């Protein structure tokens, strides 16, 4: 047995139970539907939806070229799609960094 430890337990027991904690009110947020959230996020970072739109457009055109048998243009569109996806990813990453910097200030 450690003599110092017994004293700490005795003091803690003599102090009685801790006072009850008062709950802090939780913050309330307005209900936000899909459309409102989409528009807010688009206003915050407009390059992400633009990149997604470009990626889908290039992909669709590449598939059309592939169906028509224009393999050279189809391959070119698939490479362009990769670039558009890279742009979209960079826009998302940039938006996250900007949001993190803004929240720290």
Residue 6 lies in a domain: no
Model pLDDT, residue 12: 56
Number of domains in the chain: 1
Residue 10: Cβ-neighbour burial (10 angstroms; 0-12, 13-18, 19+): exposed
Model pLDDT, residue 57: 97
Residue 96 lies in a domain: yes
Residue 99 lies in a domain: yes
Residue 19 lies in a domain: no
CB neighbour list of residue 75: distance below 8 Å, 6 or more residues apart: none
Task: Considering only residues 32 and 82, tell me which one the structure prediction assigns the higher pLDDT.
Answer: 82
Residue 23 lies in a domain: no
Q: In which domain, by residue range, is 67 found?
A: 33-103
Would the pLDDT of 4 be above 80? no
CB neighbour list of residue 91: distance below 8 Å, 6 or more residues apart: 45, 47, 48, 50, 51
Residue 92: Cβ-neighbour burial (10 angstroms; 0-12, 13-18, 19+): middle
Residue 18 lies in a domain: no
Please tell me the pTM assigned to this model.
Answer: 0.63
Residue 3 lies in a domain: no
């Amino acid at each position: 047995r450690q003599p110092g430890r017994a004293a700490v337990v005795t003091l803690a027991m003599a102090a009685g139970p801790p006072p009850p904690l008062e709950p802090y009110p939780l913050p309330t947020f307005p209900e936000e539907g899909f459309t409102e959230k989409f528009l807010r996020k688009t206003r915050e970072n407009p390059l992400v939806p633009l990149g997604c739109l470009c990626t889908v457009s290039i992909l669709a055109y590449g598939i059309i070229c592939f169906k028509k048998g224009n393999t050279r243009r189809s391959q070119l569109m698939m490479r362009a799609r990769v670039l558009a996806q890279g742009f979209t990813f960079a826009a998302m990453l940039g938006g996250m960094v900007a949001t993190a910097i803004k929240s720290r200030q």
